[in-house]
A and B are shown apart, each in its own frame.
Chain A
Amino acid sequence: MSGRGRVSLFVTCVVDQLFPSAGLAMADVLEGLGYDVAFPPQQTCCGQPAFNSGYPNQAREVALQFLEVFRAAGHDADHIVVPSGSCTAMISHHFADLNLNPPRVWEFSQFLLEVARVEDVGARFDGVVTFHDSCHALRELHIKQGPRRLLGKVRGLTLKEMSIPEECCGFGGMFSVKFPEISQGMTRTKIASIVETGASAVVALDASCLMQLQGALRRDGHSVRTMHLAEVLASR
């Protein structure tokens, strides 16, 4: 058992399948701070896709899986850390709508600032980045300055604000599939603002936003990278 205790990772289905580097980076940072990191392997999803699409029964089924996994083997006695604002908000704000009682979960940046009480994780990243405020992190978890403070402590990093950091990236789950023109239109407005900053990377707390932005950036031939906050903080 290391110095600071044990944390359990709920990596989220998006990170598991599409952005595993964000999960690994998060684990690196947490281990670097002295935490033992556990990954309960029976985890799958928090149920948000079904909940947001208006299928509460299916969402509840999946949410139950989350609860079982994180109640087993004393996992929910640890801190549960999540590399996603929207999944954290789903659990902390909307499990109650499904008549479920969730354990406390922490979005990654919140965990660093409020539990680990650290702003400088010893990271180094040379370059200009801009930060995208994911909707659920911003409006449900009220996260705004926290990630910026963390980025402010990264050596070599310059943070440049885009003109519209709080505007939605256009993903919205099934919305991007059902209304692709609107979704893509929103994304294009967003990436214009990102590109305007001259940043080499756009950073966010949510991999689904990054995926949405990445698609459009690549399609339009921009060289701006998408990075999860954890990946920046794990950079040395």
Chain B
Amino acid sequence: MGRESVLARVRQALGRRPEPAPVPPPLATSLSTPKSDSAPQVLAELFAKNLESLAGKCVAVKEISQVAPLVASLLAGKTGVASNAAFLGECGITGLPNVQSGFTDREALRAACATADAGITSADYALADTGTLVMLSSQEEARLISLLPPSHIAVFPRARLLSGLDELLEKLPLPADQSSAMVLITGPSRTADIEQILVRGVHGPGEVQAIIVG
């Protein structure tokens, strides 16, 4: 590699024209999913339908005040780790008993997630046409909360719903600028490696529950 960079500088110094950057074929906007039905209510219903077809669950609530009691009933006395997403705080989830949150230390977070029954996060976006949660790693959202515990609860405002992948990539053409890790989560973890029989929750959460607010 050192050889390459020296040569590149040599070429430059001699005024050799550098290779022009290749021009990729233009983006095919004609192939994007049509966004005609992007009324938030329609998106929410579509999202729910698609997530449920994958054995995920989805509930829509109108008021923020409904969220905490709902999550409490979902937890039913089990333990949870909540992310530092501001929205979760607004919903009062961080105040629930049996829910730990506010982790900023990687090792402590990992230890908590390794034993918690549920991970509670928000979502940066949600994609209606596939029932997908989009999460970017940040100081608000850690990676492991939606991954280690056997159950994942994602609470997000309805306004974050997008029609699908096309719209997401239009909004975020360079996801790497935002975060070191973006993940698209489409339903519970699954495998069919043995006799093609479907089993959920092999490594990631076997239960995914979305709560759409607003």
Per the CB under 8 Å rule, do A and B touch in the complex? no
- Which of B's residues lie within 8 Å of A, judged by CB? none
- Which of A's residues lie within 8 Å of B, judged by CB? none
